[in-house]
Chains A and B, each alone.
Chain A
Amino acid sequence: MKNLLLIAYLDVKESLRSKWFYVYSVVFGGLMALFFITGVSDSVVMGFTGLSRTLLIFIQVTIIILPIFILITTVKSISGDRESNVLEYMLSFPVSLKDYYWGKMLGRFSTVFLPVFLALILGVVFGMLKGGVLPWKMIFLYSALLFSLSFVFLGLAFFLSTILKSTDIALGASFVVWIVLLAFIDIALMGLMLQNRVSDDVVITLAMLNPIEVFRIGAISLFDPELTVIGPVAYYLLDTLGSTWLIVYAFVYPIVIGLLLSYIGYIAFRKKDLL
């Protein structure tokens, strides 16, 4: 446990010094600031006002950027350490593979989750400065959804970078997974549904299995309880699950998948050659 925390701590320190971390923080923090400066937060669009409107745009951006950011930086760091023999050196010291793997995971998680979370807090602070009632419940639930979105992609990144030995192949695989998941959010699903070639059940199942779609539906349902903005699949899910269970599912499902993927990655880390 002592070594696990040590490795997590050192990973955080290493990330804090890296360029990707700054780009990442600036992107999310900057976006949030931009929304407020440009007055997105003041306009009334489609019935959304103030902070809700800002958060809604923030969600859309998060859906696209967060997964790929987590995948690329994590895969690069984990596979890169192996290819550059950093792993060989670090693991020639008496730390258990358990401590190393989960320590890395903990460290990485902190560095990918914190900037997004802080950007959200920044939004809240801006919102407070402008006055008005803050939607605390929404902010809390939204943080929880961000947490689980970050977690599932981190798990995926650890899975890919331990299963696939080469950095390039692992990066390529990350891109493919990301594109496929993005393609299968509501719009593409709706297309499938309209074509009538696949049954609605298949479409719904695809939607429920896709962590990006699950996050999207969950997050948007916080702002638009009727989900009028995002189409029939989401609407169907809301109708079947009810809004509470929808949020619970949107929070729990990605965590379960993230745990599963990172655990398989851990088994591979222990059972396969380390280098």
Chain B
Amino acid sequence: MLAVAKDVTKSFMGTKVLDNVNLMINQGDRIAMMGPNGAGKTTIVRALLGFYHIDSGEIRVNGADPIKNRVDVLKHISFIPQLPPPVKLSIEELLSFVEKSSAISREKIFLESERMDLDLKNQLNKPFFKLSGGMKQKLLIAIALSKKSNLLIFDEPTANLDPKGREKFYELLTEIDPSCSTLFITHRLDEIEGLVNRQIYMDLGKVVEDEKI
């Protein structure tokens, strides 16, 4: 078992955003997580990553508490946020942060970028936020795929990509090490149908459907 959320409840300002959520992610799971906006998808992911202190319940990722052992937990997770953050660091600096904090090799990132037709080497000094939306997303994807993780979490990863970029992205996904589990938050099940083996549907802070496909 890679990650477990047991009876997790979390409220923001009196509103229950996660309501007794139970979720288990096993090795080899390729999950499509769906649900309307505000269902709590991002919140459960952030709780798994140790960003939120949950009100009750328990979360374990690779057997550890993501808050108490955040460094160990995050070593094995790759995460792509819903929107590319406007990071002001230059690409060079972002790469050195990623490289040094997570032991990712720069060569690997260049390689993954090239496969998505993203030419990094000529714009290393450009601030990250000045890249186009699609280029940012590609770089984040390249970083995520370069990290040696056993769980990849993508919060609506393709929202900013053009159709061609999306195609390339899915192509890359087919090459992910099969032992690595993935969790996609997405609105487009049709696009990733071939890539997932399980679908979870959330609504109003609850998991309302969880089935293998």
Contacts and interface: CB of A to CB of B under 8 A. Distances in A.
Interface in A258-275: 271-275
Given A17-B127, A84-B86, A94-B74, A10 B51 contact: no
A8 to B, nearest CB: 12
Number of contact residues on A: which range applies? Answer: 20 to 34
Given A88-B51, A89-B81, A275-B52, A95 B88 contact: no
Contacts of A93: 74, 97-98, 101-102
A213 B73 CA distance: 47
B19 interface: no
Interface string A7-24: 100100110011000000
A97 interface: yes
A89 B101 contact: no
Contacts of A240: none
A203 B83 CA distance: 52
Given A13-B89, A95-B101, A88 B72 contact: no
Contacts of A94: 70-75, 101-102
Given A88-B46, A273-B52, A14 B88 contact: yes
Contact of B87 (A7, A89, A92): A89
A273 B51 contact: yes
Interface string B34-52: 0000000000001001111
B93 A10 contact: yes
B79 interface: yes
B74 to A, nearest CB: 4
B109 interface: no
B100 interface: yes
Given A14-B88, A93-B74, A3 B51 contact: no
Nearest to B52: A273
A3 B101 contact: yes
Interface in A1-40: 2-3, 6-7, 10, 13-14, 17-18
Contacts of B89: 10, 13-14
Contacts, number: 79
B77 interface: yes
Interface in A63-115: 84-86, 88-97
Contacts of B63: none
B131 to A, nearest CB: 14
A275 B51 contact: yes
Contact of B74 (A88, A92, A275): A92
Contact of A274 (B52, B83, B90, B127): B52
Contacts of B83: 85
A274 B98 contact: no
A18 B88 contact: yes
Contacts of B50: 274
A6 B101 contact: yes
A45 B100 CA distance: 56
B85 interface: yes
Contact of A10 (B77, B82, B97): B97
Contact of A86 (B70, B86, B100): B86
B53 interface: yes
B149 to A, nearest CB: 11
Contacts of A96: 70-71
Given A86-B85, A96-B71, A6 B100 contact: yes
Nearest to B73: A94
B53 A272 contact: yes
Contact of A85 (B73, B81, B100): B81
Give 10 closest A-B pairs by Cβ, nearest first: A94-B74, A92-B79, A86-B85, A89-B85, A85-B85, A94-B71, A94-B75, A93-B101, A274-B51, A273-B52
23 contacts: A2-B100, A10-B96, A10-B97, A13-B89, A84-B85, A84-B86, A85-B85, A86-B88, A88-B46, A89-B79, A89-B81, A90-B97, A92-B77, A93-B97, A93-B101, A93-B102, A94-B75, A95-B101, A96-B71, A272-B53, A273-B52, A274-B52, A275-B51
Interface of A: 2-3, 6-7, 10, 13-14, 17-18, 84-86, 88-97, 271-275
Given A86-B88, A88-B46, A274-B51, 6 more contacts: A6-B101, A10-B89, A13-B93, A89-B87, A93-B101, A272-B53
